[in-house]
Structures are given as C-alpha cells and as structure tokens.
Structure 1
Amino acid sequence: MDWGYIFKYWIVTLVLAPILSQIIKDMGIIHRDKTIGLFEMFPEALQAGMMLSLPTLLLYLFVYHIAERSTLKTIWVKLIVILWTTIGICLTLYLLDSGLILPIGSYYIIASAVCGLLLKMKRIPKEEVDCDNT
C-alpha cells in the first residue's frame, strides 16, 4: 500500500477544510452569521487542526496498516479510512464542545471525503509485500 496516501490525505484535508468553509461563508449558502470562515485565520486553523487530529491520524494509520495486509479492494480501504476520519472528527469536536460538530466538523468531514476519494492510492501486489517481509 501507499503510505504516502495517508499523509497526503491528512494534510490536504487540513488545508482544504478552511478553504471550503470560507467559500461556503462567502457564497452565503448558509447564514453568514452562523458560518465560521476558517480561512480568515488559516495558520491558526491549520495548527489547531494538526494538533487535534493527531489521535485520529494515529488511529487511521493503525487501521490502514491492518487494511494493508488484507485483500480488500482499494475503494473499501479508502472508505474505511474516511469513516474512521469522520468518527475521529466528530469525537474530537464532541469532547471539545458538541456545538462545534456542525459548524466546523462538517467542513472537515466534506474535505476528508473529497480528498479520500480523489487522491490516488497505489496498491502493491500481495506477492511483493510477502517478499519484502521475508
């Protein structure tokens, strides 16, 4: 499996979510007073996102390691990673303040789904993995 996928997925999700929140705020899709524009404070949002997402990153590194050894198709591995990311986002924001799940978590969940599905994951044939482990 492509371990670079996980780190690209993590970084691009953390960068895309503030941009997405600003676009939605500026377009007025949701009431402007109820939408948080995270891009206005991008360095702080990126730093906070990195710190708060470390436990989730460790969790889906573990899940990815298990999935790497399985015979699951790539799309299923991607969906599992997206699911664990969504659970991690919701759990982290719930522990901080449950009121943050909808106004902030929704952008990170959308960004993680987009990144997870669009980023390419290289799959190493099982024979090559077995040869490397012996």
Structure 2
Amino acid sequence: MEIKEIQASQTWQIRHEVMWPDQPFEFVQLEEDNSGFHFGVFDEDKLVSIVSCFIEGKEMQFRKLATLEEYQGKGIASCLLKYIFEFAKSRDLKRVWCNARSNKKLFYEKFGMNDTFKTFVKADQEFTIMEIMLF
C-alpha cells in the first residue's frame, strides 16, 4: 500500500460508490475541490481509499474519507488519517476537523478526535463535527 497525492477528479468515483451511491454523480464533486489537497491509497496500481483536505488559516478540514468496501476493515483509512495528521503538523496547523457521520464517531475518537456536539443532517445522514488540536 502506498499513499500519494492525487487529483480531485480521482476521488469522485470512490466518493460516489462508497458514500453517496444513491445520489447523482455530480453530488460528490465539491465546488472547492480545486483548492484542496487530495490523497489516495493505492494497492499496487488500484486506488482503494481517498481523502480530501482543505486548509484555511491554521486549520484543516478533511472531507470524504472513503475506502472501497472490499478493502474496509484492513486499517487503510486509519493509515490515511494518520498521514493527513502528519501532513497538517508539517504545515504547522493547529486544528484538524471533519464533519463525521454520527455512526462513525467512535472511529475518529480512536485517533484522539473529540466530538464538538455540533450536529446537522444532510441528505438524510446525521453528522457531528469532530476535531483534534495539534501542538
């Protein structure tokens, strides 16, 4: 497995297949994609997991962390999450946050992220804002 920086357009198929299969393909194409950093995990030449990161000031939001179903449960997303935390530290950022699906909250807590208890609903999915402070 290898983590590499990728183009935004390379994330769209996995975003759609894993996160929003019932939505139109355009639903996963973010307006801000061109201003972000996108990372992918490759198993040989196959892209199997992705995440997109957006920096504003001293903060970074990561979005659309997704792994193909047949590769889930193997620690791939965990490696990718650790990678982007190091990426944020290397840029001297102070806070990393995400809009996590509420049913995935425990996953993020394993990495020291805290629930802010700020919740919202999008396309019938409940989300909570998770964050970690970096020093």
Structure 2 length-normalised TM = 0.30
Q: Which has the higher helix share?
A: 1
Structure 1 length-normalised TM = 0.30
Q: Which has the higher strand share?
A: 2
Structure possessing the higher radius of gyration over alpha carbons = 1
Greater RCO (CA < 8 Å, at least 6 residues apart): 1
